[in-house]
Structure 1
Amino acid sequence: MTTLGTASAAPGEIDTGRLPVGEARDGSEVGLPVAVINGQADGKTLYMQAVSDGDELNGLGVIRRLVPQLDPTKIAGELLIVGITNYYAFQVAEHRNPIDDTKLNRAYPGSKTGTASERIAAATFDAAKQADLVLDLHQGSTSCMINETRVRCGTRHRLHRDCLELAKVFGCGHILDQKGPDGQLARAAPDEGVPTIDPELGGAVGWDETSIRKGVKGVFNVLYYYGFLDGNVDPEPQTRATGFEQYGSPAGGLVDFEFDLGDSVRRGDTLFKITDPFGTVKERVTADSEGIFWRHRRLPQVATGEYVCSLGTNLDEY
């Protein structure tokens, strides 16, 4: 029998339930929606979660499309799934948990007696530690971003090669291989011996169909490659960036981008220009390095110093 919260499944069964993480302001119990898929045969355990940030919905789009396609009688191993991780932020469609103004993916490994976010992190981290592999499904918030997978443990970590292999298998096409901030699940779980990646499935307001399809394919790649399902996957080479440069605006105004997402950029190329409301160019910003146009803001209006775009740099093929 495999259990996660109130979900419990015998071999060859699937069940859904709730993972208790505390109480809301009205005293009602808060439980995260979870699913357990217990394969008919023995095998590895995969933990997967989505909506760690409350406005990042593409991962949830992946899960709701993936689970109905899985037949536990044809699976070897177990899948532990949390469909909506940042419960409070999801309810109000915000990035951070409004109860404690915290970005949940900075709270791992969490605390069972801590803040609302720390309690969610502790409960989901307990589940993640049971696994052999972890997928933490994200997206580039509501900005515009390429589909990519992040390896966050750092190149000197003992599990770096395992995490990098998992990212290659997932197969978004691009990998950001750069040590992440403290408190990320993809930082904390490798310290417990569990290879973990952070697929960033584009960036959107609501659903993005292309990114959801890519995410579903990525999870199936993992299921085939690691033996959960019968079949073969030959991982394709990925473009890897080990650097990530962010650019802000030197002036207030309206942004015109000179590149599309995924385009190659040379050092000195104009990334964007800032105009006034009448089209007069006020400033031009050029690339400091060669790279890939990785991410940019969604809205055109900017204030001085406000984030505009990012490049993936230090590129190679993995």
Structure 2
Amino acid sequence: MVSLGTASAAPGGVDTGRLQVGETRDGSPFGLPVAVVNGAEDGETLYMQAASDGDELNGVGVVQRVLPQLDPAELSGTILVVGIVNYHAFQVAEHRNPIDDTKMNRAYPGDENGTSSERIAAATFQAARRADRILDLHQGSTSRMLEECRVRCGQRHRLHDECLELAKVFGCGYVLDQKGPDGQLARAAPDEGIPTIDPELGGSVGWDEGAIQTGVEGVFNVLRYYDFLGGRHAPETQTRATGFDQYGAPAGGLVSFETDLGDRVNRGDALYRITDVFGEVKATVTADAPGVFWRSRRLPQVATGEYVCSVGTDVDSV
């Protein structure tokens, strides 16, 4: 029998339940939705979670579509799933946990006696530590972004190659291979010896069906490659960036992009222009280095210094 919270499944079984992590402001207990898929045959354990940022819904869409397709009779090993991590932020469709104004994916490995976010991080990290591999499903919030996998442990980490392999197996087509900030699950779990990636499934308001399908295919790629399911998967060559240049607005106004997601840019190429409301150009921003146009804001209006876009740099193939 394998259990996660109130979900328990014998070999060949599936169950869903709740992982209790605290109480709401009226004193009512609340728990995160969890699932256990316990394969009929022995094997490794995969942990998967979604919505550690409350407005990043594509990962929830992946979970919603993957679980009904899993037949434990055909599965070797176990899959542990937390369908919504940032419970409070998800309820109000916000990025950060409104209880403590914290970005959940900066709270790992958590503290079971800490703040709301630290307690949720501690509970989910305890579940994640049971796994042999971890998928932490994200998206670029509501920005426009390439579908990519992030390897966040750093290239000198002892588990880097295994994390990079996992990213290639998932197969978004793009990999950001850059050490992440402290507190990310994809930073904390490799320190425990568990290969972990952070698939960023595009960026959208609400569902993005194309990005969700990429995520569904990625999960099944992982399940086949690592022998949870029968069948074979051969990873394809990915485009990797090991740097990430961010660009802001030198003036306020309206942004007009000269490049699109996935475009290759060279140093000096125009990335975007800023005009006033009458169309007069106030500034033209060019690339500082060659790379791939990776991410951009969705709304056209900007204030001076506001984030506009990002370019992946130091690009190669892996």
Quickly name the TM-score band, shorter chain normalised: over 0.9
Using the alignment, how far apart are the partners of 2:293 and 2:194 within structure 1? 31
Q: Counterparts of 1:13-32 in structure 2 under 5 Å?
A: 13-32=13-32
Using the alignment, how far apart are the partners of 1:60 and 1:155 within structure 2? 29
**2:310 is the alignment partner of 1:288:** no
Equivalence for 1:88: 88
Q: Counterparts of 1:294-313 in structure 2 under 5 Å?
A: 294-313=294-313
TM-score when scaled to structure 1?
1.00
Q: Counterparts of 1:119-268 in structure 2 under 5 Å?
A: 119-268=119-268
Using the alignment, how far apart are the partners of 1:16 and 1:79 within structure 2? 12
Using the alignment, how far apart are the partners of 2:298 and 2:109 within structure 1? 32
Q: Deviation string for 1:147-171 (max 9, x for gaps)?
A: 0000000000000000000000000
Equivalence for 2:100: 100
Alignment: residue pair count: 318
Measured after TM superposition, the shift of residue 185 of structure 1 is 0.1
Extract unaligned runs of 5+ from structure 1.
Answer: none
Using the alignment, how far apart are the partners of 2:195 and 2:35 within structure 1? 21
Using the alignment, how far apart are the partners of 2:21 and 2:296 within structure 1? 35
Using the alignment, how far apart are the partners of 1:108 and 1:207 within structure 2? 26
Q: Deviation string for 1:277-317 (max 9, x for gaps)?
A: 00000000000000000000000000000000000000010
Using the alignment, how far apart are the partners of 2:136 and 2:47 within structure 1? 8
Using the alignment, how far apart are the partners of 1:258 and 1:4 within structure 2? 49
Using the alignment, how far apart are the partners of 1:234 and 1:51 within structure 2? 28
Please list every run of at least 4 consecutive aligned residues from structure 1 whose deviation after the TM superposition is greater than 3 angstroms.
Answer: none
2:68 is paired with a residue whose SS is helix
Using the alignment, how far apart are the partners of 1:26 and 1:35 within structure 2? 27
Equivalence for 1:117: 117
Equivalence for 1:66: 66
Q: Deviation string for 1:212-247 (max 9, x for gaps)?
A: 000000000000000000010000000000000000
Using the alignment, how far apart are the partners of 1:22 and 1:160 within structure 2? 34
2:314 is paired with a residue whose SS is strand
Using the alignment, how far apart are the partners of 1:229 and 1:235 within structure 2? 16
Using the alignment, how far apart are the partners of 1:59 and 1:233 within structure 2? 22
1:244 is paired with a residue whose SS is strand
Alignment root-mean-square deviation, CA: 0.3
Using the alignment, how far apart are the partners of 1:22 and 1:115 within structure 2? 10
Measured after TM superposition, the shift of residue 30 of structure 1 is 1.1
1:261 is paired with a residue whose SS is coil
1:288 is paired with a residue whose SS is coil
Equivalence for 1:273: 273
2:102 is paired with a residue whose SS is coil
Q: Deviation string for 1:170-200 (max 9, x for gaps)?
A: 0000000000000000000000000000000
Letter paired with 2:295:
R
Letter paired with 1:200:
E
1:187 is paired with a residue whose SS is helix
Using the alignment, how far apart are the partners of 2:158 and 2:128 within structure 1? 18
Measured after TM superposition, the shift of residue 131 of structure 1 is 0.1
Using the alignment, how far apart are the partners of 2:134 and 2:286 within structure 1? 38
TM-score when scaled to structure 2?
1.00
1:63 is paired with a residue whose SS is helix
Letter paired with 2:258:
E
1:299 is paired with a residue whose SS is coil
Using the alignment, how far apart are the partners of 1:136 and 1:83 within structure 2? 11
Measured after TM superposition, the shift of residue 138 of structure 1 is 0.1
Using the alignment, how far apart are the partners of 2:307 and 2:259 within structure 1? 16
Measured after TM superposition, the shift of residue 90 of structure 1 is 0.1
